[in-house]
Structure 1
Amino acid sequence: MKTIMRMMDHLYWADGRILDALEASDTKDTELLKLVRHVAVAEQVWLSRLEGRGNVQYWLWEEAEDLPEIRRMFEANAKDYRNYIGKLEESALDQMISYSSQNGRSFQTSVRDILLQVLLHGQYHRGQINRALRMEGAEPAPVDYITFARL
């Protein structure tokens, strides 16, 4: 549990760093903004499933232009995940969660694997965002776990 909590702390930190880099770049790349919004919404989707709120419809690939609004989404996600994980017992990590995907397909996945999905999905897309920033001539955000661990 301690490892997952530490990795989630990294996720919150990395989400903030990538938003800082996007703001500093002053990018107008709508696909890049759509991608960062996608990360925030995917975090919401998985938490909704973990909390058993049913198959709430989220729009994973909606256009986005408002970085302050996306930052508020990430901040709310961090607060909600901290609250969820703070109540979670170690034994609950292996509990199976039943849910439907966005296209209606049914699945069962452990809490542990869902949390790892959230962690790895965000890191994957932050790498894509950093690459795009570099290609625009902007400064990418160092979001590696070791950078966080050294703080």
Structure 2
Amino acid sequence: MNRALGLVDGEGKFKDIFSALNVRRAAQEGAKDVGDVHAAPFVLECKDVKVPAVPAWLRQAHVEADHAGFPYGVVVHKTRRANVRLGRVHMSVRTWTRVRLALGLTTSQLRERYGFVSAVRGLDTSRWYLTTDVDRFTQLVADLRARL
């Protein structure tokens, strides 16, 4: 993500090591966990498991984003032994709507521009989420940062 966002040089070193925009692994905080990776304005809860539990992970990501003081929490899930670039980024309907409004896009525009697909699990909307790939999510991060 740092390379795609233009935050590192050709050798992969941060252009500004003190920039709050650098995508970094967060230090673990115990009971007040702040997520696995910070990609302002997002906290990424990263999972490398065979069987996904996305709704539960999203609840965890929201709590950790709150602990870290970030407005958005999302989950990045990849299958074991697969490259992280093949991972999927999941966000709750609430987070997706807040991001959509912050970008000033319609539902169709956000879905098409960033390749989101929805997962609807029964009537409980707290279990619904939207998913895109890591590359498109990185572009969303760049576009959202440009608006803030």
Same fold (TM over 0.5): no
How high is the TM-score relative to the length of structure 2? 0.32
Which has the higher Rg, Structure 1 or Structure 2? 1
How high is the TM-score relative to the length of structure 1? 0.31
Structure with bigger RCO (C-alpha 8 Å, 6+ apart): 1
